[in-house]
Amino acid sequence: MAREFRLPDIGEGLTEAEIVSWLVAEGDLVESDQPIVEVETDKAVVEIPSPYAGVVLQHGGAEGEVLAVGAVLVVIGEANESAARTPISPLVEEPVVEQPQPIVGTLSEEAEIIEPPSEVVIETTQKVKALPIVRKMARDAGIDIQMIVGTGPDGRVTREDVEAVTSAMAPPDRVVPAPVVTEAVVAEASDERQQMSRLRRTIATNMSKSWAEIPHVTTFDDVDATRLFEVRKALSDRHETKIPLEALVIRAVLPALNVFPEFNATLDGDDLVVHGSHDIGIAVDTADGLIVAVVKDADSRNVLELSDEIRRLGEGARERTLELGELTGQTFTVSNIGAVGGGHGTPIVPYGTTGILSVGRAQAKPIVYEDDLAIASVMPLSISYDHRVIDGGTGRRFMALVMENLEEPALFLAG
């Protein structure tokens, strides 16, 4: 008997999702809990498992199509039903509930290998790991991504892999005689309309909402980061691993969040909700746009544990493999704009929080030290905060404590 599986709300009030790729073709066998489709939500690319075992009779949409929550995602039935096209029933409006129920099944990493019955001959296609933008590159170039050998982690196909195949397919250069120009012709440039990606549209919506509703105040400072970088190098050498700058900055910020809890809070109507946990967002620059990953319970982790988690989240954000829970719920945010060469800036406070600290690239500059002129590694700092919650004086005191910790890491490493 054919059964419909509708697109579930997989978290954070999802209203729709775009089909990135089907992992099981129409007519193929699927097992219960086997990943059947890869979809892109506002924040992440996730695999959705099948709640049923059987034969995929019909896809609810093509790759690139956007489906609303509650729309039929796939129809699954018996092998003898695969010959007939199954009519899809219309979208059913579900009643609104406060806590959406979890979907049936689990979001596992890899699809299991399906052994079809001996009497049924079924074509199977090995799943290829690739980001949506890489799949689009391959499609635009007319290349079957199944034929590309991935060089990324776990065999993931990268941009470079697609570009290498594209270059190999290009015809050799040949000398073309220069045309005889008899009259100057000026070609008129034309505009090109490009639809923004789902992630870029989400970023635009969130930024607009934050800027429109939060009265921002941004203050700027420079800090002598000489000791900070000495400690970073010593820790890296001792533990034979690179310590991300964000790990030390987070440790320096945590004491200030304890002293000034309004920076670790959410304004809810006329109430200020001061959070008991310290879930620190870290801004990650990716090929698809800026993604904020969240270090949960940052105050319970030492520098090495923070380093491991920051590396894991950074890689997951760039590969678009993080779960929704790892991309939401930050109580304060740190943005290392220095990683891309930035200095001072005006970071926008993420909606639902009250503050964000931006750290710029340190440069050797002259400073006055104990009445003498010296050269030091000077790191730019920019902090934006919600002026409805935090006054200028509180903002300055918060920044002063953060600067004191950054200039002498022993103050926060001992805590």
Q: Which two tokens stand for residue 125?
A: 């296609």
Confirm if 406 and 252 have CB atoms less than 8 A apart.
Answer: yes
Cβ atoms within 10 A of the Cβ of 76, count?
Answer: 25
Cβ atoms within 10 A of the Cβ of 221, count?
Answer: 16
- Placement of tokens 């993080």 in the chain: 322
Q: By 3-state DSSP, what share of the chain in percent is helix, strand and coil, each rounded to 5?
A: 30, 25, 45
Confirm if 402 and 263 have CB atoms less than 8 A apart.
Answer: no
Q: Which two tokens stand for residue 237?
A: 């050498």
Q: Which of 216, 275, 344, 387 is catalytic?
A: 387
Confirm if 19 and 64 have CB atoms less than 8 A apart.
Answer: yes
Any catalytic annotation for residue 275?
no
Q: Is 181 helix (H, G, I), strand (E, B) or coil?
A: coil
Q: What's the length of the chain?
A: 415
Whose CA is closest to 282, among 331, 321, 222?
331
Report how far residue 291's alpha carbon sits from residue 282's, in angstroms, rounded to the nearest whole number.
8
CA 293 to chain centre: 6
16 contact partners, CB below 8 Å, separation of at least 6? 66, 67, 68, 69
Phi-psi region of 155 (alpha: psi -120 to 50; beta: other; left: phi over 0): left
Confirm if 144 and 165 have CB atoms less than 8 A apart.
Answer: no
* Residues marked as catalytic: 387
